[in-house]
Amino acid sequence: MIKILIADAHPIVMMGLSMVVNSAEEFQLQDAVATTTQLFTAVEKQTPDIVILEMDIPEINGIATVRKLKEINPNIKVLIFSSQSETVYALSAIRAGACGYLSKTARIDQILTALTQLKEGKIYLTHSLSEQLKKEKSGDKEKSAFRKLSSREIEVLKLLASGKKNKEVAGGLDINEKTVSTYKSRLMKKLNVTNIVDMLQHAKALQLY
């Protein structure tokens, strides 16, 4: 029996996912939590096989949460289940240690397929993302710029785009303010902009907010 833990702050989503998990004989819902504090505690105490994680779960952003989960238990499998853009976040999440990325618009059978693939030790990618990975080049300027960014740079850009100040970004990512400033400089260089306003316009184009 594969033990599943759901981490999502939205009660209706949590209820729906619980029903999906309980509908399959091979999966057992172990717990459901709404914050990263609850999540880390549950993972340490209950050792689930798979965590279904909302990208925007409260307290710590999703990619940082994936890294922390892998530190707590390297064998844990994480399926990101989110309304955030797959194009922007999926590869970063997988680089951080996630085993799959699924949109909240997914059908029930897609959720079960993803969980089954994780159970079998596979990485779950949707057809659209798989097709994008096959294309080495793209004429889309914004997506091309995105591919230049590291996972950490995307995290910083998203927090800045959401209105966070340097100090808040530093606190959210557990880095110092000087490092945030360094990331801002790198982002402007990689996105080929000279000011914060233009940088945030790129963030908007990349659906970061």
Bigger pLDDT: 90 vs 111: 111
Residues 166 and 193 grouped into a single domain: yes
Residues 91 and 155 grouped into a single domain: no
Helix, strand, coil percent values for the chain (each to nearest 5): 55, 15, 30
**pLDDT over 70 percentage in the chain:** 87
Residues 129 and 152 grouped into a single domain: no
Range of the domain at 64: 2-133
Give the CATH number for residue 201. 1.10.10.10
Residues 82 and 14 grouped into a single domain: yes
Is 0.85 topped by the overall pTM?
no
Give the CATH number for residue 50. 3.40.50.2300
Bigger pLDDT: 25 vs 137: 25
Distance of CA 43 to the CA centre of its chain: 18
Residues 124 and 23 grouped into a single domain: yes
Residues 107 and 58 grouped into a single domain: yes
pLDDT, one tens digit per residue, over 164-199 is 888 988 888 889 999 999 998 888 888 878 777 777
Question: What mean pLDDT do residues 118-133 have?
Answer: 78
Q: Residue 139: its pLDDT value, please?
A: 47
Number of domains in the chain: 2
The 3-state secondary structure of 10-29, one letter per residue: CHHHHHHHHHHHHCCCCEEE
Looking at 95-109, 135-149, 157-171, which range is the least confident one? 135-149
Picking from 60, 22, 16, the residue whose alpha carbon sits closest to that of residue 38 is 60
The pair of structure tokens assigned to 17 is 């996912």
Other residues' Cβ atoms within 10 Å of the Cβ of residue 205: 15
Picking from 55, 52, 36, the residue whose alpha carbon sits closest to that of residue 2 is 52
